[in-house]
Structure formats: structure tokens, C-alpha cells
């Protein structure tokens, strides 16, 4: 079987376009899946966080943890950088 140069070019061109189409379709599908997953995770996390933060106990816990962090930061600043505290205007 003898294949002419014209037929060979046409076959190669068809194969190239098939692979290009497959790659483009794959990329688009991945983008859509990532976007849908990202939106789903974001919405789900927001709902869970809102549920958790509605309670008074949770707010109190967040406040207590924040106070502890601020106290430790103040201690570190006062021991290691006393000139910073001296520059604070009251």
C-alpha cells in the first residue's frame, strides 16, 4: 500500500487536531471541576464556621485565647524590647 505525501499530511494533521482537542477538553474540564469544588468547599466552610461562632461559649473561648496571646506578646515585648514600651504614649 502506497501512501501519497498529501494523504500522509492529512492524516498527521487530523491526529494533531485530535490530540489538541483532547488536551483542550481536559483542561476545560479540570478548570470547571476545580471551580465547582472550590465554591462547594467555600460555601460549606462558611456555613460550618457560622454555626460554630453563633454560640456564646465559642465567642468566650475566642476572647480568652486572644487575651492569652496578647498577654504573652506583651511579656515578650517587655522583656526583649523594653524601648518599644517606653515609646508608647499614654
DSSP 54: T
CA–CA gap between residue 26 and residue 20 (Å, rounded): 10
C-alpha cell at 70: 496578647
pTM of the model: 0.39
What do you get for the CA distance between the two ends of the chain, in Å?
96
pLDDT tens-digit series, residues 44-53: 888 888 887 7
pLDDT tens-digit series, residues 11-53: 888 877 777 778 888 888 899 988 888 888 888 888 888 887 7
Amino acid at each position: 500500500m502506497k501512501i501519497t505525501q498529501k494523504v500522509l499530511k492529512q492524516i498527521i494533521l487530523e491526529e494533531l487536531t485530535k490530540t489538541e482537542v483532547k488536551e483542550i477538553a481536559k483542561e476545560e474540564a479540570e478548570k470547571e471541576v476545580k471551580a465547582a469544588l472550590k465554591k462547594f468547599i467555600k460555601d460549606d466552610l462558611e456555613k460550618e464556621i457560622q454555626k460554630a461562632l453563633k454560640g456564646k461559649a465559642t465567642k468566650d473561648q475566642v476572647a480568652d485565647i486572644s487575651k492569652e496571646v496578647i498577654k504573652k506578646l506583651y511579656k515578650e515585648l517587655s522583656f526583649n524590647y523594653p524601648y518599644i514600651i517606653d515609646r508608647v504614649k499614654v
